[in-house]
Structure 1
Amino acid sequence: MNNRLKVLIVDDSAFFRRRIAEMLEEEQAIEVVGVAENGHEAVEQNRLLRPDVITMDVEMPVMDGITAVKTIMAEQPTPILMFSSLTQEGARATFEALDAGALDFLPKQFYSAEGRKAAAEVLIKRVLAIGQRHGKSQQRVHAGVIKRSEPKAESTTRAGAYKLVAIGASTGGPVAVQKLLSSLPAGFELPILVVVHMPGSFTTAYAERLNMQCSIAIKEARDGDRLEAGQAYVAPGGYQVILERQNQEVVIREVVIRIVEGDGRISYRPSVDVSFGSAARLFTDKVLAIVLTGMGADGKQAAKLLKEGGSTVWSQDEESCVVYGMPQSIEKAGLSDRVLPLDDIGPALSKVV
């Protein structure tokens, strides 16, 4: 029986279709079952081939990627990984595709920036992650799933004790963060630091989009920004974000955001560990940190620092994650005070704050 993950590749460039197919076919667990040159062909091939995952270009003739995603999600929902150019227009179109139902994205330039071998690893891991997540959901296989935890007494009696909310995410993060922030009321009282693994050219458009969609104010963080109550700051892609105090007393208005190049040995820019770690050192027991969907374990080390200082850590539950890597690492290490489905995090956050 063939248990390989079936992938449909959609792109109007024959070169890119061939390049993606070659990379994916290096993985024995993946089978490329078809290709399509535009969105219309993608819809037809999805009906015929019933792939487990679709890789989809944003800009195509006949039918563009966004329209194709909407049609596929209405007819026969399938996990979709978008590819887009590293431009402001490409970023905006990608976020429209995510709104339409795509699960994640990669910039088309990933294969030239990473090198052949590293690029193939990135692509394969991303496709397997969203494909396997979909398979579990479809088959309702939840063996070994960590059950949702009830809030500990400490996390429900500290209302008003926090000075900062810190949110970290990776794969599936842009949509998850949008859902969380859009559920917060206009009068939300704390500053929020948002760290999502994303290219630099995307975070500006992402922050602008969130600011239009949410009741709270949202901006891309800039070096020298002072934390303001009720303001969310999106860490810019390609850099590390750390928090510094301007004097001995940790007053919100005296805390400044610093944007730095960071250590080349750290894989992620921005890194949840780096930003959360600076918050742990600055605010000790006054941080409410939330780890959302994502591959890997970025955030785990900083969560340990936060817990040691007396701060609170929440994590997203497996069923609502696109990829249960980052939240799982937090929960398995015993660092999560609450494990919550995505739709419950915003209301719970508003209640506690």
Structure 2
Amino acid sequence: MPISVLVVDDSAFFRQQIVSMLKGHPELRVAGTASHGKEAVEQALKLKPDVITMDYEMPIMDGISAVREIMARQPTPILMFSSLTTSGARVTLDALDAGAVDYLPKFRESLSANERLKQQLIEKLIAVVKRGGKGQPLSGTTAERTAPVERAPARQPRLSPRPELIMVGTSTGGPVALQKFLTQLPAGFDIPLLLIQHMPAAFTGPFAERLNRQCRIRVVEAQNNMALEPGLALLAPGGQQMMLSSRERVKVLAGDDRLNYKPSVDLSFGSAAKYYGNRVLAIVMTGMGADGREGARMLKKVGAPVWTQGSDSCVIDGMPAAIRKEGMSDADIPLDSMAQVLLKAL
């Protein structure tokens, strides 16, 4: 049966744009629409759609409030539409905390000018439903966690030699995964970290600020020529590439337009293989696609360990699965256990 979609937006024009994007696709069916958050909750309970697209700024009830109530009463994968601004980034991060699984940029142009966005929307809707993805709100939200119960890892991985750098690559579902992982690292954690999350340029600054407030380690958005420091996590800026220029510093640059991702996990991992050899630990977490696979291949050639997030805890298991499929994962670890396993291995 086709995947049923509930479209929520206060703009009749934008609702029609989304309906037009989905109309005629053999795997999708628009089950209904809603013009504000309260109606979205009512329609979610009545229609029980497989997935929901959600606006933020709406009358009567805003999108974040609607996400919280839907996740509490009828847990459903929700994609947020957000403006590519600092304000839009903060709203999106709040929505992810509330249980939304992902986001897409807001647009007001004609459908013909947004073929790439149309393809992204369709791919995300299909992927989260086929994966069984549900929102995974953090502790303190009103919604319950709906992902499958995670099993403990079969064995405790070892790290020898001790890594001098930890790199984490993420995409869809990554903001929540990174938050859960990094907030469990203690003050005094003494290894530098590089974080590569697929995000637009306007989002990474607010995301780094949020993580820095929540974590006991320091988190900042990387800038060109910044130094690696113990217990400092550098987040790759959206729309750019982050590489190592030496064992001590990072290089931030525009990068090649032929690369699909900015930032690219492959590019960052590959530069670490050059400067750190087997003294880097790479961790690939939830995300669509296979970014990180070729970078992991370069790291494995120099003897570096690569860990993956366990399938059951991924919103989308594309990136970790690509590593596993090639036999390059040294440890497959549930998200809730990742920090604990890392600390024990160190």
* Same fold (TM > 0.5): yes
Counterpart for residue 329 of structure 1: 322
Checking the alignment, whether the CA contact within 8 Å between 2:76 and 2:134 is kept in structure 1 is no
Q: Is the 8 A contact 1:151 1:337 kept in 2?
A: no
Q: TM-score, normalised by structure 2?
A: 0.92
Residue in 1 that maps onto 2:336 = 343
Counterpart residue number, 2:140: none
TM-superposed CA distance for 1:131, in Å, is 1.5
> Secondary structure of 2:163's match?
coil
CA distance in structure 2 between the aligned counterparts of 1:132 and 1:307, rounded to whole angstroms: 31
Instruction: Please name the residue that 1:36 is paired with.
Output: 34
1:119-166 residue CA offsets vs partner (Å, 9 max, x unmatched): 2111100111111122799xx9x9xxxx987458xx4152x6211000
Runs of 4+ in 1 over 6 A off after TM superposition: 110-114
Name the aligned partner's letter for residue 242 of structure 1. M
Contact 1:150–1:338 under 8 Å retained in 2: no
Report the counterpart of residue 13 of structure 1 in structure 2. Answer: 11
Inter-CA distance 161–111: structure 2 relative to 1 (3 Å threshold): farther
Change (3 A) 1:114 1:170: farther
Gap runs ≥5 in structure 1: none
Aligned residue in 2 for 1:218 = 219
Query: What is the aligned counterpart of 2:129 among 112, 128, 131?
Result: 131
Deviation at 1:46, TM superposition (A): 0.4
* C-alpha displacement of 1:109: 3.6
- Distance across 1 between alignment mates of 2:64 and 2:192: 33
Which residue is 2:277 aligned to? 284
Alignment partner of 1:302 is 2:304: no
Counterpart for residue 192 of structure 2: 191
Give deviations 1:33-60, integer Å, cap 9, x for gaps.
1000110000000011000101001111
Which residue of structure 2 aligns with residue 171 of structure 1? Answer: 172
Q: Is the 8 A contact 1:220 1:233 kept in 2?
A: yes
Matches of 1:165 and 1:157 in 2, distance apart?
12
Following TM superposition, by how much is the alpha carbon of 1:352 offset from its aligned partner in structure 2, in angstroms? Answer: 2.1
Change (3 A) 1:73 1:210: same
Indicate the SS of the match to 1:123: helix
Give the direction of change, closer, same or farther, for the CA distance of 1:340–1:162 in structure 2 (3 Å limit): same
Superposed counterparts of 1:62-211, under 5 Å? 62-109=60-107, 115-134=113-132, 150-151=154-155, 155-158=157-160, 161-211=162-212
Aligned to 2:308: 315
**1:209 and 1:352, CA in 2 relative to 1: closer, same or farther beyond 3 A?**
same
TM-score, normalised to structure 1, is 0.90
Q: Which moved more, 1:335-344 or 1:103-112?
A: 103-112
Is the aligned partner of 1:237 residue 2:235?
A: no
Contact 1:148 1:339 in 2 (8 A): no
Aligned partner of 1:286: which letter? R
Query: How large is the RMSD of aligned CA atoms in angstroms?
Result: 2.2
**Distance apart, 1:113 and its partner CA:** 11
- For residues 230-251 of structure 1, the C-alpha deviation after alignment (integer angstroms, 9 at most, x for no partner) is 0001100000110011xxxx4x
Secondary structure in structure 1 of the residue aligned to 2:306: strand
Report deviation, 1:115.
Answer: 4.1
